[in-house]
Structure 1
Amino acid sequence: MKYVQSHENLDIPDGVTLEIKSRIVKVTGPRGTLSKNLRHIDVTFKKVSDKQVTITVHNGDRKHVAALRTVKSLIANLITGVTVGYKYKMRFVYAHFPINVNIIDSTTSTSGKAVEIRNFLGEKRVRNVPIPKGVEAEISTTQKDELVVFGNSLEEVSQTCADVQQICRVRNKDIRKFLDGIYVSAKGNIVEEL
């Protein structure tokens, strides 16, 4: 069954400007600028006012209409990123061999930095995860065995954390017994809400 017209409204907070040109969304806020290419999704944008945008799908089937909410969420994530940012905390879990993590200079990453992981399960292999541009990582000073990853783009921050977690997968052993690794322990914002 075709839905004749489906739409979602998106509110734009104060201090944020939203610019849409040929389905490339550019959001500017107090923390910087983020953009997202949405050309692959058939939706129309209509700026109702400076504070509201309507996203519409014409003659869409069920899956096409489901993409509508996805587009709204993607733009909402951009708005959150340029206003308060994203911060993920990762904890090192080990039973015997302590995991050593450092932030090093790297030529392979776009930002020039990488997360270096040593002594995982006592292995001599050194693991490196490049940190993308716009994302920063640091070893926590308040909490032992904690890595803090933060930035404006939710996709890049969460992908960096996923890469760190995936590079520390235990192979050829019973993962119920060997629970070692680096895991996301908390998700939040850089600018803490009062």
Structure 2
Amino acid sequence: MSRIGKRPVAIPSGVTAEMKDGALVVKGPKGTLSLGLSNLVEYKIGDDGISVEPANDSKEARSHWGMQRTLVSNLVEGVTEGFTKVLQITGVGYRAAAQGKNLKLQLGYSHDVDVAVPEGIEIKTPDQTTIEISGIDKQQVGQIAAEIR
């Protein structure tokens, strides 16, 4: 029995959720995100929020239950608040600079390392050794942070 899956995901004001074309689409002040629906769980949009229930009593359905509820929660949090990761660069002479849609890193090589930033991700460098990565998709923000690291 999933303790996480039991709780419905609250939908704040200014956020709408609907199911269409096999996906859960959540729209909010920061943008729109969608999640492909799993056949192992059932999604219900009600007055108390979005609830997720296992479709049957199989072990596989129960194992997807909590994960799908967390993914739905990440959608709602992403379109309302967004996600941010902060990276620190440690090393003598190591620097980072945001240049448009690219991140330029000087990491002691004979050349600069350029990292292309995908659509929907914003990178800021408040100082030369700090990189702030922000966006509405938690998975994408974490993936870019891991690639830079």
What is the TM-score with the length of structure 1 in the denominator? 0.67
Equivalent residue, structure 2, for 1:16:
15
Equivalent residue, structure 2, for 1:82:
79
Is the counterpart of residue 160 in structure 1 residue 144 in structure 2? yes
SS in 2 for 1:123: coil
Give the share of equivalent positions with the same residue, in percent.
Answer: 24
**Separation in structure 2 between the aligned mates of residue 139 and residue 58 of structure 1, nearest angstrom:** 46
Equivalent residue, structure 1, for 2:40:
42
**Separation in structure 1 between the aligned mates of residue 22 and residue 65 of structure 2, nearest angstrom:** 13
Equivalent residue, structure 2, for 1:52:
49
**Separation in structure 2 between the aligned mates of residue 124 and residue 13 of structure 1, nearest angstrom:** 50
Unaligned runs of 5+ in 1: 106-112, 166-194
Structure 1 ranges of 4+ moved more than 3 A: none
Equivalent residue, structure 2, for 1:191:
none
Offset of 1:42 from its aligned partner?
2.2
What RMSD in Å do the two structures reach over aligned CA positions? 2.1
1:115 to 95, 103, 113: 103
Equivalent residue, structure 2, for 1:175:
none
Letter aligned with residue 35 of structure 1 = S
Offset of 1:22 from its aligned partner?
4.2
1:104 to 99, 105, 110: 99
Which structure: greater strand fraction? 1
SS in 2 for 1:11: coil
**Separation in structure 2 between the aligned mates of residue 79 and residue 88 of structure 1, nearest angstrom:** 18
**Separation in structure 2 between the aligned mates of residue 158 and residue 66 of structure 1, nearest angstrom:** 23
Equivalent residue, structure 2, for 1:65:
62
Letter aligned with residue 26 of structure 1 = V
Equivalent residue, structure 1, for 2:113:
127
What is the TM-score with the length of structure 2 in the denominator? 0.85
Number of equivalent positions: 145
**Separation in structure 2 between the aligned mates of residue 163 and residue 46 of structure 1, nearest angstrom:** 36
